[in-house]
Structure 1
Amino acid sequence: MIHNGSAEVTPPVPTAAQAFAAGPSVHTEAAADPLPPSAPLRLRIPEIDVDAPLTGLGLGADGALEVPPAADRNLAGWWRDGTRPGAKGTAIVAGHVDNAQGPAVFYALGSLKKGHRIEVDRQDGRTAVFTIDAVEVYAKEHFPDGKVYGEADRAEIRVITCGGGFSRGSGGYQGNVVAFGHLIGVR
């Protein structure tokens, strides 16, 4: 939750229409063939004005994915020991929703819709282009690890940030917003 003067601002939350189970799907685009692995350098999501450099993230001592340094609001991270975006499998990208200075890189992630694009510039000079299949929000205690982190038979991506309500006394954000996508092309 962001403080903006005297008003509190809450990041957008995906609507039920953007979930997997909701109504007809707009993501009818066929999956592109996976690319060879190559480190990601930059991520863009034009619909929410994201254009961010990527840093590698590992796992913390508790086994959870590390988060990018909070001081750089426009920095996102990718799980460096996992699938590279564009390669076969499930690539994981994470970033902050906000920090003490205001909205951060994935503040508007919850406003994405099926069919929006995610673009990832890679070290090999290619740009992997993904379409969003769904955007869902999960409470921390009911986070579906298998659904979010599980392997895929095609090139997929998950973009994750905090969300799902905020409680000062209970550790901040109570859940996570996750955008699910699959590779549809390469530039």
Structure 2
Amino acid sequence: MHSRTSRDRLGDTAIAAVTVVALGSGVWLLGCGAGTHAPPQPAAVEGRPDPGDERLAAPALAPSLPTRIRIPAIHVDAPLMGLALTRSGSLDVPPARNKNLAGWYEAGTIPGETGTAIVAGHVDNAEGPAVFYDLGALKRGARIEVDRKDGSVAVFTVDAVEVYAANNFPDHKVYGAAPRPELRVITCGGGYSKTAGYLGNVVVFAHLTGGR
């Protein structure tokens, strides 16, 4: 991983590039396993509300690389690895064989800084459920914690949980720049086809509400 200084604070500019190069089709390029188990999907009531009052967000934290993500409501407690782009321009993914591993887009915003930070992980693999299998069951107001290398913890509150079809994925809404510290947690979902795999993505929208 590279420090925030060495990356020239690319932040949302880098995220915009990924949206165009890797995610312009609306497909989050995760190897999502065999689809033998049906993961929960978010209810319509958990959908994204109108933009909230930005003053409700906590102040941005100083730069420090993330090491772990915890989502107590769905029993997630997983290490984070850095994700980069592949030679083809798609976002790399955590190894599917490690079911309890998530990744963050390390050329973008660090979780806790101002901007949109991206975390992704598998919903399942050939053996069954993986780290974000229950992501679609998350509710508004749930807590997400990201441990950081300096010993601090970035605490986020969930604003919405939505599911999008791959052929109608709202790139700007999900990956666009944010004026406050925000987090997106993404996995596969939206139904499953034996020929096409998962048909969409579950996306959690959250914003920073504290740190310790």
Question: TM-score, normalised on structure 1?
Answer: 0.90
Count of aligned residue pairs for this structure pair: 178
Name the CA distance, whole Å, in 2 between partners of 1:104 and 1:40.
20
Alignment partner, residue 53 of structure 1: 79
Given that residues 2 and 103 in structure 1 are in contact (C-alpha distance below 8 angstroms), is that contact kept between their aligned partners in structure 2?
no
Name the CA distance, whole Å, in 2 between partners of 1:164 and 1:62.
25
Alignment partner, residue 65 of structure 1: 91
Name the CA distance, whole Å, in 2 between partners of 1:148 and 1:46.
23
1:148 alignment partner, SS class: helix
Name the CA distance, whole Å, in 2 between partners of 1:145 and 1:2.
24
Name the CA distance, whole Å, in 1 between partners of 2:146 and 2:195.
37
Name the CA distance, whole Å, in 1 between partners of 2:35 and 2:185.
21
Does residue 19 (structure 1) correspond to residue 60 (structure 2)? The answer is no
Alignment partner, residue 167 of structure 1: 193
Given that residues 54 and 77 in structure 1 are in contact (C-alpha distance below 8 angstroms), is that contact kept between their aligned partners in structure 2?
yes
Aligned pair partner of 1:108 in 120, 131, 134: 134
Could you list the per-position Cα deviations for residues 110-152 of structure 1 after superposition, in whole angstroms to 9, with x for gaps in the alignment?
0000000100000111000000000000111111111111111
Letter matched to residue 183 of structure 1? L
Does residue 81 (structure 1) correspond to residue 95 (structure 2)? The answer is no
Name the CA distance, whole Å, in 1 between partners of 2:169 and 2:88.
16
Seen in structure 2, the aligned counterparts of structure 1 residues 74 and 29 have a Cα distance that, compared at 3 Å, is farther
Alignment partner, residue 205 of structure 2: 180
Q: Percent identity?
A: 62
Alignment partner, residue 6 of structure 1: none
Bigger strand share: 1
Letter matched to residue 167 of structure 2? E
Letter matched to residue 205 of structure 2? F
Gaps of 5+ in 1: 4-8
Gaps of 5+ in 2: 1-33
Could you list the per-position Cα deviations for residues 45-67 of structure 1 after superposition, in whole angstroms to 9, with x for gaps in the alignment?
00000000000001223433221
After TM superposition, the runs of 4+ consecutive aligned structure 1 residues lying more than 4 A away are none
Seen in structure 2, the aligned counterparts of structure 1 residues 28 and 45 have a Cα distance that, compared at 3 Å, is farther
Name the CA distance, whole Å, in 2 between partners of 1:160 and 1:65.
12
